Amino acid sequence: MQAVSAQESERSASERREALKEVWAQARGCTRCPELAATRKTVVFGAGNANADLMFVGEAPGASEDEQGVPFVGRAGKLLEKLLGEIGLARSEVFIANVLKCHPPGNRDPLPIEIDNCQEYLHRQVELIEPTVICTLGNFSTKLLRGDPTGITRLHGQPEVLTLGRRAVRLYPIFHPAAALYTPRMLETLREDFTRLPELLALGAPEQPEASEPPEPAPETPEAAPEVAPTEVDGQGSEIDQLGLF
């Protein structure tokens, strides 16, 4: 196989960033879920490296994430960054997203119809970023991505190959950092599970399914989404900066 040059690799990463921005532009104008569209402050699309080998998927944005437009910005996010540092990784090297891109009012669980409406955005993220490993954080995202009711207590730390959309990945369920904040024993388990990540990443991507059709576009919204332009968000810089695509 011919080696990929650094220039070709960078161009590919740049193309992925631009493609992700297009999907984000569609997601930020999405009104498929009327209640979420009416109550959200921002669409929390995801943040991180558009060329990441490691991707984390949580359940849905919380109130702080809804305010800032970035996933995992609270105490759980700080713990996630700490655990990444312990295995030699930085937040800027991974991509973090949620199953839902909008904050459910009252922090209620996502509804099945909301999951159905939103899952195409996650699948497009997986297809464009092409991660080797996806860590599901906690019970909810693990059950959703696996399509199985088995809980995180039984599954944590057990990798498996799973196809999401058109991309085969190594799915690795772990406890949600928020749960580990208050339970020392769970924190140690989470830390132990994190130590296996370098080994999983070293395995590389699993064999991919044969492509049968061109990738589908992101779900359409009732009106064309506006072109992404830098606008201020809470005085912290442009929305593109908040998106955090590196």
Contact 31, 37 (CB under 8 A): yes
pLDDT at 166: 83
- CATH of region 11-202: 3.40.470.10
Backbone φ and ψ for 133, nearest 5 degrees, come out as -125, 135
Model's pTM, two decimal places?
0.83
Q: What is the pLDDT of residues 78-113, one digit of tens each?
A: 999 999 999 999 999 999 999 999 999 999 999 999
Q: What percent of the chain has pLDDT over 70?
A: 81
Q: What is the pLDDT of residues 110-132, one digit of tens each?
A: 999 999 999 999 999 999 999 99
Contact 103, 44 (CB under 8 A): yes
Q: What is the pLDDT of residues 163-198, one digit of tens each?
A: 988 889 999 999 999 989 988 899 999 999 999 999
Name the average pLDDT for the chain.
84
Q: Which of 153, 154, 98, 162 is nearest to 133 (CA)?
A: 162
The rounded distance, in Å, linking the Cα atoms of 174 and 179 is: 11
Q: What is the pLDDT of residues 1-45, one digit of tens each?
A: 344 444 445 557 788 889 999 999 999 999 999 999 999 999 999
pLDDT at 171: 97
